[in-house]
Amino acid sequence: MREAVGAIPIATGDTKVVDRGKGDGVYINTSGIGVVRAGVDIDPRSARPGDAILLSGEIATHGIAILSVREGIEFETAVETDSAWLGPLVDALLDAATVRVLRDPTRGGVASTLHEIAVSSGVGVRIEETAIPVRDEVRGACEILGLDPLYVANEGKCLAIVPGDQADRALAAMRGHPLGRDAARIGEIVADHAGSVRLSSRIGGERIVDLMSGEQLPRIC
**13 bridge partner residues:** 30
Q: Is 12 inside any structural domain?
A: no
Q: Is 136 exposed, middle or buried (0-12, 13-18, 19+ CB in 10 A)?
A: exposed
Average pLDDT on 15-28 reads: 69
pLDDT of residue 204: 84
The answer to whether position 80 is within a domain reads yes
Is 27 inside a domain boundary? no
Q: Which amino acid is at 64?
A: I
State which residues form the domain around 75. Answer: 37-209
Q: What residues contact residue 178 under an 8 Å CB cut-off, 6+ apart?
A: none
DSSP 3-state of 46:
coil
Q: What is the pLDDT of residues 79-112, one digit of tens each?
A: 888 888 899 999 999 999 999 999 999 888 999 9
pLDDT per residue as tens digits for the range 110-156:
999 999 999 999 999 999 999 999 998 898 888 888 889 999 999 99
Phi, psi of 189 (to 5 degrees): -90, 135
* 118, part of any domain: yes
- Residue 14 forms part of a structural domain: no
| 20 part of a folded domain | no
Answer yes or no: is 13 within a domain. no
Distances (CA, A) of 21 to 26, 122, 150, 218: 13, 49, 33, 21
At CA 33, angle to CA 183 and CA 170, rounded to 5?
20
Whole-angstrom CA distances from 173 to 54, 195, 206 are 11, 29, 31
**Is 4 inside a domain boundary?**
no
What pLDDT, on a 0 to 100 scale, did the predictor assign at position 3? 43
0.85 surpassed by pTM: no
| CATH number of residue 172's parent domain | 3.90.650.10
Residue 151 CA to its chain's centroid (Å): 10
Measured between alpha carbons, how far is 218 from 121 in angstroms, rounded to an integer? 29
Mean pLDDT lowest for which of 21-25, 28-32, 137-141? 21-25
Q: Which residues, 6 or more positions from 12, have their beta carbon under 8 angstroms from its beta carbon?
A: 30, 31
Task: Name the domain count of the chain.
Answer: 1
